Amino acid sequence: MEIVSLLIYMGLFLSSLLSYPFIMNKKKVARRKANLPPGSMGWPCIGETHQLYSKDPNVFFATKQKRYGEIFKTHILGCECVMLTSPEAARFVLVTHAHLFKPTYPRSKERLIGPSALFFHQGQYHSDLRKLVQSSLSPDTIGKLIPDIESTAISTLESLCNGHTVNTFREMKQYSFDAGILSIFGNLDDTNREKLSESYRTVDKGYNSFPTKIPGTAYYKALMARKKLNQILSEIISERKEKRLIEGDLLGQLLNFKNDKGLVLKEDQIADNIIGVLFAAQDTTASVLTWILKYLLDNPKLLKAVKAEQKAIYASNGGGRKPLTWAQTRNMRLTRRVILESLRMSSIISFTFREAVMDCEYKGYLIPKGWKVMPLFRNIHHNPELFSEPNLFDPSRFEVAPKPNSFLPFGNGVHACPGNELAKLEMLILIHHLVTKFRWEVVGSQVGIEYAPFPVPQQGLLARYWKESPSLKQAVCS
């Protein structure tokens, strides 16, 4: 079996290798006058995929930028790509000329999330769906979730204090999942939450595995779990319809939607968008939270100052007897700057992908139709001309607003993250409870980075957590 697939693979590889010069020639004829960006396309077929994956991808991008400047071409994972490293270029693709660049994802990923999820779309369907998602994530709506997010944060932190070493990223994933569920369904009953959580975990496990439909593989299990999620969601929708509840949460928005022609959303469109939002919300927020916990420990003076800011709020709330208010979360100035600097430093979404829908030109360079276009957020965030001493963790740099279009942790333009305020709120609330009532220390030397697929500290930041005893004023294991 393995030999057969190897032969097929080699056959495909060789035939495409042999046909490559002809394809190139045809393209050259069609685009005789083309002025492609500088850069190397690497080896026939495989391009520069090996160079990208054999070292830290950020080193690959940074080396290219140093050599070629703000725009360069390359060839990775079978795709011809143009990479862009300046705020102006990112704005061109994501904002001013967004109609020329469509979102593009591998089919295998689209199948797992659901093809009707808004981030795969452009045009009217996308803008209709986006309005609903934005409305369910507006400050008014998420402000009402504060007490529930607080209880989720407290129970997450308490569960960490078990005397054992824990993988921080894994625990933060559970927290961001639960907060995501709150924004989608409001208060969902425990049985349905547990069912969703179990099937979602299987989808999550298969998401980055090799996409084969062979039974037993992680990808196949993920596909089956995705089908199960549709059933669970269908039951939740029926219950909601029976109760005739009109809620401002995402499910309520999706159920009540009617377009100009009176059309409502089909159940699978609703399911795809719910899973899409959960997917967009979970690993992103959890990765950044994990980095924040590490950066705070690495900077003891800063941690002390953050504690002082949060303890003042805690005291004004009668030692945590009153819930946090929206106004208080808006006023956590230093903690907010720590979050912004963590978003910049970690740049967990290093880049995004689009595909040119027609030949277009940027600063005299041709971006051919069908090529992938990648604004490199991380390169922008680590450019010393935009952020001085970019490798230094310094939240005070956010005392002044960054230069326009230079700070893009949540993207820009029509597809910019509608969940950015919820993500920041979740982080502020978790930090508030962590620094006022708990302590934590990293186990072992934690210097490396792993990709899960977003960058997170090595092994998800192995750490031990304690509850601080208010009476003894010292750390005790709860």
Preceding omega of 453 cis (within 30 degrees of 0): yes
Q: Which stretch binds ligand HEM (CB under 6 A): 188-196, 305-313, 393-401, 417-425?
A: 417-425
Q: Which of residues 351-370 bind ligand HEM (CB under 6 A)?
A: 352
| Three-state DSSP class for residue 127 | helix
Q: Which of 419, 455, 457, 460 binds ligand HEM (CB under 6 A)?
A: 419
Q: Which of 156, 285, 406, 446 binds ligand HEM (CB under 6 A)?
A: 285
The Cα 456–Cα 403 span in angstroms is 27
Under rule CB under 6 A, residue 130 binds ligand HEM? yes
CB of 94 to ligand HEM, least distance (A): 6
Q: Which of 173, 415, 432, 437 binds ligand HEM (CB under 6 A)?
A: 415
Q: Which of 119, 291, 371, 398 binds ligand HEM (CB under 6 A)?
A: 119
Looking at the DSSP bridge assignments, the partners of residue 101 are: 356
- Cβ proximity to ligand HEM: between 161 and 270 the closer is 270
Q: Which stretch binds ligand HEM (CB under 6 A): 164-172, 275-283, 431-439, 443-451?
A: 275-283
Assess contact for 260 and 242: CB atoms under 8 A: no
CB of 116 to ligand HEM, least distance (A): 12
Q: Which of residues 26-85 bind ligand HEM (CB under 6 A)?
A: none
Burial readout 197-227 (b: 16 or more C-beta within 10 A, e: otherwise): eebbebbbebbeeebeeeeeeebbbbbebbe
Q: Which of 89, 100, 118, 430 binds ligand HEM (CB under 6 A)?
A: 118
Stretch (H or E) spanning 252: helix 250-256
Q: Which of residues 325-354 bind ligand HEM (CB under 6 A)?
A: 348-349, 352
Q: What six digits make up the tokens of 29?
A: 């004829």
- Cβ proximity to ligand HEM: between 115 and 320 the closer is 115
CB of 261 to ligand HEM, least distance (A): 22
Q: What six digits make up the tokens of 283?
A: 């690993």
The Cα 402–Cα 383 span in angstroms is 12
Place of tokens 């069609």: 30
The Cα 282–Cα 302 span in angstroms is 27
- Cβ proximity to ligand HEM: between 18 and 416 the closer is 416
- Cβ proximity to ligand HEM: between 422 and 456 the closer is 422
Under rule CB under 6 A, residue 277 binds ligand HEM? yes
CB of 247 to ligand HEM, least distance (A): 16
Q: How many residues bind ligand HEM (CB under 6 A)?
A: 27
Count the Cβ atoms, other than its own, within 10 Å of residue 392.
10
Assess contact for 431 and 335: CB atoms under 8 A: yes
Strands (DSSP E) contained in 251-386 are 354-356, 360-362, 365-367, 372-375
- Cβ proximity to ligand HEM: between 172 and 236 the closer is 172
Strands (DSSP E) contained in 23-133 are 71-76, 79-84, 101-103
Under rule CB under 6 A, residue 418 binds ligand HEM? yes
Assess contact for 446 and 417: CB atoms under 8 A: no
Q: Which of 180, 186, 206, 455 binds ligand HEM (CB under 6 A)?
A: 180
161 is in an annotated binding site: no
**By beta-carbon distance, which residue lies closest to ligand HEM?**
419
Stretch (H or E) spanning 464: strand 462-469
CB of 14 to ligand HEM, least distance (A): 35
- Cβ proximity to ligand HEM: between 119 and 200 the closer is 119
The Cα 46–Cα 135 span in angstroms is 44
Q: What six digits make up the tokens of 298?
A: 């690495």
Count the Cβ atoms, other than its own, within 10 Å of residue 312.
12
Feature table: binding site for heme: 417
Site residues, ligand HEM (CB under 6 A)? 118-119, 130, 133, 137, 180, 183, 276-277, 280-281, 284-285, 288, 348-349, 352, 409-411, 415-419, 422-423
Feature table: binding site: 417
